[in-house]
Amino acid sequence: MDTLQTLPGDDVRQILWRFSQRYDLQMLVQSARQVARGPVARAVASGLRNTHEWTPEKAELLKAFDEAGLTAAFMEPEHGGYIEGPKNLVQALISFEIAWVDAGASTGGMAGNLALSPIHEKGTPEQKAKYMAGAVPPLPGEDRKQYRGAFALTEPIPYVGVGTGMLNGKVSVAEWEEGKEPILQVDKRGRFI
């Protein structure tokens, strides 16, 4: 049996992944590919992935994602997005294209969407209107600060918790002033990665 000599091209992938009739998704793939081969590739070539420090150059990648429409792809049209319906394939296509150049940039680009997922899935209409619409890049002439979500993972400390059959955590509201967002107290035995 012969092995695959090259990966399938766009025409084959569109059929296999069932988006050959979706021009909006085809254009999204092209936008993601341009960002991957442009700003992301330049960041990799300059050695930015060799450090964990947040730099202005890394912040420029978020701006490139915004300008290409990748950030807004996760949002519903009523919140400033442009693709209706489920977003799993949309997110997979974006991640796939960017990860071809750098998996870290792909993960970083998706982290904001991971942070918004609980609001997207279970938030109240008011929460969705505030946070989902606030995470969409401002339109030209619009005077507002864009929200950015944060997503953090933890891993267990070796031989503490997981090794003993127990890894627990506790979340409580530390402070919640009237009219403000709550401040959460998170207690977990592990280290953030």
pTM: 0.74
Please give the Cα distance from 118 to 99 (Å, whole number): 24
pLDDT of residue 135: 93
User: Residue ranges of the domains in the chain?
Assistant: 10-135, 154-192
pLDDT-above-70 percentage for the chain: 86
Average pLDDT over residues 39-53: 91
pLDDT of residue 150: 78
Please give the Cα distance from 92 to 179 (Å, whole number): 37
Fold of 10-135: Butyryl-Coa Dehydrogenase, subunit A; domain 1 (1.10.540)
Q: Name 173's bridge partners.
A: 184
Task: Answer for the pair 154, 167: CB distance below 8 angstroms, yes or no.
Answer: no
Q: Name 187's bridge partners.
A: 170
